[in-house]
Amino acid sequence: MIELTKAEEEIMQVVWQLKNCFVKEIIEQLPEPKPAYNTVSTIVRILERKKFVSYKAFGKTHQYFPIVNKEDYTKFKTNNLLSNYFGGSAEKMMSFFIKEKKIDLKQMDELLKSIKNE
C-alpha cells in the first residue's frame, strides 16, 4: 500500500463515506470553497491508478467505489506514524500525545481498560 496525498485522502474519506458515488456527489460533500469538477475528477482517476477505487461505467459517466477499505488504510498510516516518528514504540507515541495534551491521563486509563476488555 502507498501513502496518499492530503487531497487524495480528503477524496477517499468521502468515497469511504458514500461507498458508491459520482464525482458530482463527492464535490457536494467537500467543504467550501468547492474544488472544480475537473480537479476532483483528476484526483479520482489518480486514486483509480493507485488501486484505491474502481468504477462502474454508465455510458460516459462513472460511479466510483472503494477497493481499499478505510480500516486497512488507517492501520497502514498508523504503522507508518509509529515507525517513522516514534521508532516503533507505542509507549513513545502515547507519551508524546500526553505531553502535547492531545490525550489526558484519564483518557489514557480508559483506553487501557478498553484494550484489556477486548
Amino acid making up residue 53: V
d(CA 67, CA 46): 14
Same domain for 43 and 26: yes
Same domain for 57 and 12: yes
Same domain for 83 and 57: no
SS3 category, 54: strand
Per-residue pLDDT of 13-33, as tens digits, reads 999 999 999 999 999 999 999
The parent domain of residue 51 ranges over 6-66
Note whether residue 109 is domain-resident.
yes
Percent of the chain surpassing pLDDT 70: 99
Note whether residue 92 is domain-resident.
yes
Average pLDDT over residues 85-97: 87
Same domain for 10 and 29: yes
Same domain for 95 and 53: no
Same domain for 80 and 30: no
pLDDT at 102: 80
Same domain for 81 and 33: no
Q: Indicate yes or no: pTM above 0.85.
A: no
Same domain for 49 and 11: yes
Same domain for 11 and 33: yes
Alpha-carbon dihedral sign for residues 79, 64, 40, 25: negative
- The count of structural domains within the chain is 2
Nearest one of 23, 52, 49 to 36, comparing CA atoms? 23
The residue from 28, 50, 66 where one domain ends is: 66
The residue from 27, 48, 66 where one domain ends is: 66
